[in-house]
Amino acid sequence: MTESLAALSDIPPGALPSVHRVENTPAEEAHPMIAEMVHAVYPHDEIYGDYCTLQGYVAAPPRQVYDYLAHTRSLEEWTFSLRGFTEIGDDGLWLGKDLLGDGDTDIYARTRACPEAMTVDYHCAWDQGEHLWMIYLMRVVDAQLVLDKPGSVVLWTNCHHPFYDRNPFPEKALAGREVWVGDYWDVFHPGHELELENLTQICEYRHSRGLPLTPDWL
């Protein structure tokens, strides 16, 4: 195979000893290496420390689930505590409230959706709308392709942005508020699981009854 000569031909042999490919890591070596990486259980921080990713199946058509999510105000239905969004700019910036914690915290959101890839990214922030650093990366996938059944798979990732650990704009916070959104990082996974379950229930209810997934009020 001439292509095995071309692959990585710009990198001197031995320069990347921790790159494991069948050419430098025979099966006898790869199998135990991989077996040692499998564990019966994994600690919380290893799984949800740097990223909070979850995914799930929704028994509703992917294009309709995507269209629904692409509406910023759908957040008012399926999230636990985001409410009352109003569009405040001509560049798709919305202002709402996060009723989590002490309540009445301003949350700004701009949704960037790509119909081709069915990605929906909510760029959000508490307290200010200039730097939207709380980013919810979502994607709807056709379950027919990946699970051999009708419906949708929803992927959802948040990355552990350093601002979760320290509020970069403390002067913008509501006077007297004692919580910061990052205080909840350790429970993002169960919180998002609960919200993904909300999304699933709402979409499946509407789809199974022939209701539009995206209601008029959005």
Query: Which residues within the stretch 40-99 sit at the binding site for a second copy (CB under 8 A)?
Result: 40-44, 47, 51, 53, 55, 73, 76-77, 79-81, 83-85, 99
Looking at the DSSP assignment, which residues form a beta bridge with residue 124? 109, 134
105 is an interface residue for a second copy by CB under 8 A: no
| Block residue for tokens 């004692």 | 178
Half-sphere exposure of 25 (CA within 13 A, CB side): 14
Taking CB under 8 A as the criterion, the residue among 13, 14, 38, 176 binding a second copy is 38
Restricting to residues 123-152, name those near a second copy by CB under 8 A: 123, 133, 135, 137, 139, 141, 143, 145-148
Continuous segment of H or E residues that includes residue 65: helix 62-70
186 is an interface residue for a second copy by CB under 8 A: yes
197 is an interface residue for a second copy by CB under 8 A: yes
Restricting to residues 3-32, name those near a second copy by CB under 8 A: 3-4, 6-11, 15-16, 18-22, 25, 30
193 is an interface residue for a second copy by CB under 8 A: yes
Return the ∠ at Cα 159 (arms to 85 and 193), rounded to 5°.
65
Closest residue by Cα to residue 155 from 15, 40, 58: 58
